[in-house]
Amino acid sequence: MLQQELIPHLFRTEYRKIVSVLCHIFGIAHIEIAEDIVSDTFLSAAELWGVKGLPENPVAWLYTVAKNKTRNHLKRDALFAQKLSKEIKYTSDTTAEIEIDLSPQSINDSQLAMIFTVCNPCIAAEAQIALALNLLCGFGVQEIADAFLTNKEVIYKRLKRAREKLKSEQIKIEQPTADEMDNRLESVLSTLYLVFSEGYYSSNQDVTIREYLCFEAMRLVCLLVDNKPTNKPQANALLSLMCYHSSRFAARTNENGETILYENQDTTLWNKELIERGTYYLNQSSQGNIISKYHLEACIAYWHTNKEDSTEKWESILQLYNKLLLIEYSPIAALNRTFALAKANGKEAAITEAEKLNLTDNHFYYSLLGHLYSGINNEQAIDHYEKAYRMAVSVTDKNTIRKNIEALVP
């Protein structure tokens, strides 16, 4: 790897690790000091490596320099050191003895603890997502703003508020106890699921950013599954779901960046290895007696790994959506359930059910009605599709709807 690529790469992979370890030592009140030390370390790397050439082991170099900078900071800022030695449970009263452990185990434990801190229910969901991308994935403010299609100012404020909240609530950076685990894990999984969905479903045209968001969400769920206390059925189910979905990455966009709908995807482009991993984690998730919404969604995704229609497939998908809706209502689940109902019980039955949904502010609702009326009453179908067309925002959605209308016009 070339040097100009190496530093951004290491920034991606190492920044968050060192920050996690330092935050773990310093506590939530001093996140900024941890970040400053690590940023400063990378700045030194950029300066020195350019002049002296690459060190033999760049990662080890970064760790050593980060440790030294931390020690220097503690020496310089005696007041901070004093506060710190009170906060943390080290028995020594001399700052030089504060151990900065950057071993793989310590990094692992610190990152795990940070996940629970960032996904603390005291912070609003959208702020948790921004904070997760910032602290756990090493995204800068601009990158997060790009991912959310918003401006830096908005993200900056969101992060600032979230950090202040963590401080004012004095949230400890630690893994929850076994008793609290299921409860706390729920909010972690839901945030990581949102990060993934943001990447998978967003209207952002930048495929690289979107895939990167999905990849990062998967990396963090992997971290949960790889650690015994957090290796719970629901975490495995979420990872399974993510593997199945991401197996279709290469097939879902064409060379112009336009979305290719599931029905039209080239299945040879589906990633077999990810599908197999999805099935592996789905099997893992069946140990225990929890059926979370991630289990149901992973099972639905499993059925979608086979494009061929069968009675069994659609009946299973319909029943999974029925169960999913009993756990948690969402408009998209209601719409998908009605689509499956049409496949399993016929379009007439589905039209009756669809008209009761009344999701009149959702263009997918009118697209669904357009689909259901196609072949039954094409005039009505066109009417619904036209409503959907007027409401749709993204070019991809508009194109898809237009093609559907064209297919119906005699």
Shortest Å distance, C-beta 280 to another protein: 29
Q: In the range 303-362, which residues lie near another protein by CB under 8 A?
A: 315, 318-319, 321-323, 325-326, 329, 333-334, 337-338, 341, 345, 353, 356-358
Length of the chain: 410
Contact string (CB under 8 A) for another protein, positions 36-65, x = contact:
------------------------------
Cβ-based nearer residue to another protein, 197 or 345:
345
Q: What is the DSSP letter of 74?
A: H
d(CA 58, CA 10): 9
Q: Is 409 helix (H, G, I), strand (E, B) or coil?
A: coil
| 3-state percent breakdown (helix, strand, coil) of the chain, nearest 5 | 75, 0, 25
138 CB-side CA count, 13 A: 20
Shortest Å distance, C-beta 312 to another protein: 12
Q: How many CB atoms lie within 10 A of CB 217?
A: 29
Helices (H), 269-330: 272-285, 293-303, 311-327
Cβ-based nearer residue to another protein, 68 or 345:
345
On whether the CB atoms of residues 162 and 144 are closer than 8 A, the answer is: no
d(CA 253, CA 337): 25
Shortest Å distance, C-beta 150 to another protein: 29
d(CA 78, CA 251): 57
Q: Site for another protein (CB under 8 A): how many residues?
A: 19
Cβ-based nearer residue to another protein, 211 or 353:
353
Residue 347 tokens, joined: 């379009």
Cβ-based nearer residue to another protein, 89 or 356:
356
Cβ-based nearer residue to another protein, 271 or 345:
345
Cβ-based nearer residue to another protein, 84 or 318:
318
Q: Is residue 228 involved in binding another protein (CB under 8 A)?
A: no
Q: What is the DSSP letter of 270?
A: S
**Residues ≥6 apart with Cβ < 8 Å to 336:** 321
Cβ-based nearer residue to another protein, 26 or 321:
321
Phi, psi dihedral angles at 259 (to 5 degrees): -75, 135
Shortest Å distance, C-beta 313 to another protein: 15
Cβ-based nearer residue to another protein, 115 or 318:
318
Shortest Å distance, C-beta 21 to another protein: 45
Cβ-based nearer residue to another protein, 217 or 350:
350
H or E segment and range at residue 60: helix 58-76
Shortest Å distance, C-beta 140 to another protein: 39
On whether the CB atoms of residues 334 and 341 are closer than 8 A, the answer is: no
Shortest Å distance, C-beta 337 to another protein: 5
Q: How many CB atoms lie within 10 A of CB 78?
A: 10
Shortest Å distance, C-beta 9 to another protein: 46
Shortest Å distance, C-beta 374 to another protein: 21
Helices (H), 132-206: 141-147, 152-168, 178-201
Q: How many CB atoms lie within 10 A of CB 96?
A: 9
The residue type at 301:
A
Contact string (CB under 8 A) for another protein, positions 176-215, x = contact:
----------------------------------------
Cβ-based nearer residue to another protein, 18 or 334:
334
Shortest Å distance, C-beta 346 to another protein: 12
In order of 177, 204, 206, the CA distances from 149 in angstroms are 37, 7, 10
Residues at the contact surface with another protein, assessed by CB under 8 A: 315, 318-319, 321-323, 325-326, 329, 333-334, 337-338, 341, 345, 353, 356-358
